[in-house]
Amino acid sequence: MKPWLVLSLLALALSTSAATKPSPFDLVGRWEGSVDFGKFKFRLFLKVAKTTAGRLAVSMDIPDQGQKDLPINALLFNDPDVRIEIDQIGTAYNGKLNANQNEINGEFEEGPGGRPIPVVFKRSTEPDAPEPEKVFTFAKGEPMDIRGYWKATMEAFPGMTVSVALNIGKIPDGTFRATLDLLDQGAKDIPAASVSVTNKAATLKWQGFQATLDANLSDDGKTLEGNWQQGGRTNKVTFARLDEPATLLPRNLSFEPEKNQPEDIRGTWKGLLEIPNQNLRLEIKIGKAPDGSYAGTLASLDQAGRELPMSTASYTPPKIRLEWRGIRGKFEGTLNKEGTIMEGTWEQFGNPMPLKLERVAASEKEKQS
C-alpha cells in the first residue's frame, strides 16, 4: 500500500471518528413516552431542538394534564447516560440511550409514594398527524347537538370549587372531539380520550384524570346537565352554552397604569416566595376592566410560568386582596405611597408566608418577545 494512501485512509478514519463522537445534539428530535401508576396513564413528549445560537432548547408536553412546553432545567449526556432535570415537579429522569439512538430506557427518580417510575422514551420520526377540522357552530336551521363552548362551576374537593370549560367540535365523519380547560389552574386543551353520543345523551372520558362526564343536552340546547365522576366522587354539574370559548378574565382588561397616579395598581409585579428548601419567583399581572373591577394572572416563573387567572380581586387603597381558588392561594397586602411596592402575606393551604411585590416595567414574556 502506498504511503500517501495509508495517510489518506488514516485521515479519513480520524475524521469519521470525530464526526461520530456522541454529543447532546444526537438527542435532537421528538421523543414519546408514557407514565403509568395505578389507573392513571400520562403521555409524555420530550422535545429537543437546536437553536440558531447553536444551543439545545428542551421542553416537555404532558397533554393529558394540560401541560405544554414545560421547561427542562438541564439535559446532561455522557453516552449512553442521559439525565433530565425538571425542577418544576421536583424530579429528574435517568436513562440510557441505545446503540441505534432511537430509545432511552430509564426512570424518574421520584413518583407517588417516593418510588421511581420506569419510562421508555422512543424517538418519533413520523410527522404529527393533522388534526381533523372541528366545527363548533351550527348552520342556519341545523338542529343543535352537543358541539360548542361550555362552562360550569363544580366542587372539585370538599370546600373547593373550580371553573371548568368544555370545547366540543364535530369532525367530518360525524363524530365529536372535546377538550377540557381547568380555568382556575391555567390548564388548557386537555383532550378527551373518548366522546360518545346517543341522541341527546353524551359520555366524555379523560384518561389522565380518570374522570367521566355523563350528561344530557337540554331540549333548548342551552345546557348540558349530568354527573362528573372522578376519584370515587360524583358531582352534579350543569354546563351552560357560551357564544365563544370560556375564560376567567374579563374582556378588554387594561394593564397600563395612569401616569402620575401611584395608587393605580395596574401593571406587572414581581416577588420572591421563600419556602423550605426552595425560593420561587412570582409574577403577578393586574388589569382593570371597563366596569372598574380588577382581574389578572399569577405565574410561578420557576414552575413552568403558566399564567393562572385570578378568581377574585379587591382594592380599597392602600389595601389589596387577590385570590386564586384553583390553587387555594391568596395575597393580602398594602401598597406604599410611591406605588412601587406591595407588602403583605401570601397564604396557601392555610400556610401564611411573607411576600413583597415590586412593580416592574415588563413581564418575562414581554422581555423575551
Task: From first to last of the 369 residues of the chain, give the pLDDT tens digit.
Answer: 444 334 443 343 434 444 456 788 889 999 999 987 666 778 899 999 988 888 888 988 888 877 788 888 889 999 999 999 887 777 899 999 999 999 999 999 875 556 888 999 999 987 777 889 999 999 998 999 999 999 999 887 777 788 999 999 999 999 999 999 988 888 888 999 999 999 999 999 998 778 999 999 999 999 999 999 988 889 999 999 999 999 888 889 999 999 999 999 999 999 999 887 778 899 999 999 999 999 999 998 877 667 899 999 999 999 999 999 888 899 999 999 999 999 999 999 888 999 999 999 876 555 554
- The total domain count for the chain is 3
User: Which of 242, 276, 311 represents a domain boundary (last residue)?
Assistant: 242
Rounded CA separation 119/155 (Å): 33
Q: Domain containing 57 — which CATH number? A: 2.40.128
**Domain limits at 114?**
26-124
Residue 62 lies in a domain: yes
Q: Which positions ≥6 away from 36 have C-beta within 8 Å?
A: 117
Q: Are residues 271 and 364 in the same domain?
A: yes
Residue 209 lies in a domain: yes
CB 121 within 8 A of CB 30: no
Q: Are residues 35 and 118 in the same domain?
A: yes
User: Which of 59, 92, 124 represents a domain boundary (last residue)?
Assistant: 124
Q: Are residues 283 and 349 in the same domain?
A: yes
CB 291 within 8 A of CB 278: no
Beta strands in 251-328 (DSSP E): 267-275, 278-288, 294-300, 308-309, 312-316, 319-324
Residue 15 burial by Cβ neighbours in a 10 Å radius (0-12, 13-18, 19+)? exposed
